[in-house]
Amino acid sequence: MSNRRCSVWFQPDGYRVDVPEGTGFLEAAAEAGHLIEAECGGKGTCGSCLMEVRAASPDGRPSEGDEPRLLYACQARVERDSLATPLGTAPGQRRSIVTGTSYLLRQRAELGPQELGSVCRRLHVQVPSPSIEFCLSDRERLVREVAKAADVGGAVTLDLEVLRSLPDTLRSDGGRVTVTLWCEGKTAAIMDVMPGFPEARHLGVACDLGTSTVVQNLLDLDTGKVLAVASDYNRQMSSGADVISRIDCASRPGGIDRLREQAVATINALLHSLCSTGTTATKDLRAMVVSGNTTMAHLLLGVQPRYIREEPYVPAFSDVPACSAAELGIEIEPRGRIYCVPAVGSFVGGDIVSGILCQRRIGRAGELFLFIDVGTNGEIVLGNDEWLMTCACSAGPAFEGSGVSCGIRSAPGAIERINLWPDGEVRGYDVIGGGKPQGLCGSALIQILGELLRTGLIDQRGRLSSDANHPRITRSGRALAFIVEHGTHTRSGADIVLTDGDIDNLVRAKAAIYSGCSLLLRKVGLTFQDLDAVYVAGGFGQCIAVEQAVAIGLLPDIDRARFVFLGNSSLAGARLILLSSKQRERCLDIARTMTYIELSAEPSYMDEYTAALFLPHT
């Protein structure tokens, strides 16, 4: 590589990274916090990392007269200032960035250099030599210096393994040692002491442990830079698609161990993938912060989650001190620490606390906001700087593509955008990764519902028109369906349809979320119009069609400028916590101050819900 640096602007965000000439586009994308799926593992064969690249002017606009080229991100190298649009297999069909962090989170939630101060700290310490007069033990002299250097308020502890090698370590470079510390509250645990002040990078991992997908960022804990990104399906998928089926599985003999092992195996495989390029070994990683829902946290720690789904819905723990990597079987440095972001309750987990941590950095001081994470459970938070209320609504997995006859998750083959002509004919659609469609993912389901309402093919109650002459309407027995695509043009050869049963499920899901929002607002005597901002979190939030979401009443009909689409705020929150002790303290505060409202115990919730079963609502 030369010393020359090039800028790459990644679309659609426009996020810029500066990299040395010759850097691979995949690395440049990782630098930008984008995950580019490379199913073949970077061999240039699967095409999933295809991107459109064109030369850029120094201000990031396309250079005149330069034709865009299609390149495999895993193969191509940055040779000039460029605009890069990750594609899939064909242009026009965007979105191979499935789990990246949005521009907004990268840009505005990022910690400044003066804010960095990882929960996993590395200190260079000069431990004074002992003498006959100054004859404190090795341990005491070290602890004293560390407490001074790290400004620790309380106790400094030392792992036994560290103590064992301490006498020689302290004496091998005249008392100069590099100390790795885990700072939790007022206590600090010395995880490691190495002789001298070596140049090695100080690394950790932020992990979003999702029910379906697990994403990791490799972080330089000194600079806060994201060095690599990796993601994969959660291997627990084989034990059920949602948390409820995972909990069922965990309640059966041997289930909890199997689920724990699957979570750990997923995490370990990603760690190896994070470290597969470059000179980093997984054993060099010192800490990991894991953000996930309450069930995921239970399963990772091997704690029985069954009572989460039994009234009164109480988790075994909401906050727990960091565990050692060895104890959990996570293949970073064995004495490295694994910390789970604290939860609020059974159905509002660390992922939501992470999300609010991001809101705190992005939002304006004093703003009244609503935070919505649409998933199997729609988690909702309403609040401002001073108070937070939260609830979880059993939206069901409809928006994740489950429980809908042709629904699939947001992955290659899924229709993610669709438009209808005014007469209800299909005008066009986008398929993730291109090619023939396989099914409908959440964003398409919202859009199609909005389009059907606009064109009058469904009424306010969500009932499908029984117009037997409409070319897209079909009837089988008493069931009606809207044909999105005929079998001749689909991957499986079967029609892609939306049945009236599917529409029912979708309406119930949106009603659950909308009525949850209404109820929280009503409890504090406010309305949607009072909101300064509505944050929409989750991978789902990244490509939601706002107008249609408003049209069907999933999102409130307020000034569109107040919507903020966060992307993966669970991962971004984990990153904040790993990089800053202050942010960890803050997340504890957030978890503690959030008032959880159990909707099933709210008498007015059923009324709200029933009222919301109309499109957009009553």
In whole angstroms, what separates CA 247 from the centre of its chain? Answer: 21
Helix 569-579 / helix 581-593 crossing angle, nearest 10 deg: 130
Can you list the alpha helix ranges (DSSP code H) found in 408-479? 442-454
Closer Cβ to a copy of itself, 406 or 590, answer by number: 590
Task: Determine the interface stretch with a copy of itself among 79-87, 285-293, 298-306, 366-374 (rule: CB under 8 A).
Answer: 298-306
Whether 532 and 493 have beta carbons less than 8 Å apart is answered as: no
Residues 128-147, mask of contacts with a copy of itself (x by CB under 8 A): --xxxx-xxxxxx-------
- The CB-of-464 to a copy of itself minimum distance in angstroms stands at 38
**What 3-state DSSP class applies to 393?**
strand
> Residues 6 or more apart from 200 whose CB is under 8 A from it?
284
What does the block give as tokens for 570? 């669970």
65 binds a copy of itself (CB under 8 A): no
Sheet with 337-340: list strands edge to edge. Answer: 226-233, 213-220, 203-209, 285-292, 337-340, 323-324
> CB-wise, 165 or 474, nearer to a copy of itself?
165
Cis geometry, peptide bond prior to residue 91 (ω within 30 degrees of 0):
no
Residue 168 makes contact with a copy of itself by CB under 8 A? yes
Structure tokens at 582: 């202050």
Stretch that binds a copy of itself, among 68-76, 127-135, 281-289, 539-547 (CB under 8 A): 127-135
The single residue among 112, 253, 312, 366 that binds a copy of itself, judged by CB under 8 A, is 312
The binding track of 147-166 with respect to a copy of itself, each residue x by CB under 8 A or -, is ----------xx-x--xxxx
Determine if 302 is a binding residue for a copy of itself (CB under 8 A): yes
* Count of other CB atoms within 10 angstroms of residue 205: 30
Q: Which of 581, 569, 573 is nearest to 221 (CA)?
A: 581
Least distance (Å) from a copy of itself to the CB of residue 327? 6
Q: Determine, following the binding rule CB under 8 A, whether residue 334 of this chain makes contact with a copy of itself.
A: no
Q: How many residues line the site for a copy of itself (CB under 8 A)? A: 46
Residue 160 Cβ vs a copy of itself, minimum distance, rounded to whole Å: 6
Task: Determine if 437 is a binding residue for a copy of itself (CB under 8 A).
Answer: no
Q: Which of residues 565-604 bind a copy of itself (CB under 8 A)?
A: 596, 598, 600-601
What b/e readout covers 536-563, taking b as 16+ CB neighbours within 10 angstroms? Answer: bbbbbbbbbbeebbbbbbbbbebeeebb
| Residue closer to a copy of itself, measured from CB, 339 or 482 | 339
Residues 586, 357 contacting (CB under 8 angstroms): yes
Least distance to a copy of itself, CB of residue 102, Å = 32
Closest Cα to residue 534, out of 502, 501, 497, 560?
Answer: 560
**Cβ closest to a copy of itself, residue 39 vs residue 598:** 598
Q: Measured from the CB atom, is 165 or 455 closer to a copy of itself? A: 165
CB 538 to a copy of itself: min, Å: 24
What's the sign of the alpha-carbon dihedral 135, 126, 579, 286?
Answer: negative
Q: Which of 307, 523, 526, 593 binds a copy of itself (CB under 8 A)?
A: 307
Helix (H, G, I), strand (E, B) or coil at 64: coil
Residue 317 is a binding residue for a copy of itself (CB under 8 A): yes
Distance separating alpha carbons of residues 41 and 377, to the nearest angstrom: 32
Comparing CB distances to a copy of itself, the nearer of 257 and 559 is: 257
Stretch that binds a copy of itself, among 104-112, 306-314, 455-463, 485-493 (CB under 8 A): 306-314
Residue 304 within binding range of a copy of itself, rule CB under 8 A: yes
Q: Which is closer to a copy of itself, CB of 320 or CB of 473?
A: 320
136 vs 494, beta carbon nearer a copy of itself: 136
**In the numeric block, which tokens belong to residue 193?**
């002491």
Q: Check binding of 321 to a copy of itself (CB under 8 A).
A: yes
Q: What angle do CA 391, 392, 396 make, to 5 degrees?
A: 160
- Minimum distance of a copy of itself from residue 494's CB (angstroms): 44
Q: Please check whether residue 520 is in contact with residue 391, taking contact to mean a CB–CB distance below 8 angstroms.
A: yes
Give residue 558's Cα distance to chain centre. Answer: 26
Residue 281 or residue 320: which is nearer to a copy of itself going by CB?
A: 320
Percent of the chain as helix, strand, coil, to the nearest 5: 35, 25, 40
Q: Tell the smallest beta-carbon distance from residue 196 to a copy of itself (Å).
A: 19
Token code pair at residue 175: 């008392």
Instruction: Catalog residues that contact a copy of itself under the rule CB under 8 A.
Output: 130-133, 135-140, 157-158, 160, 163-168, 171, 301-307, 311-321, 323, 327, 345-346, 596, 598, 600-601
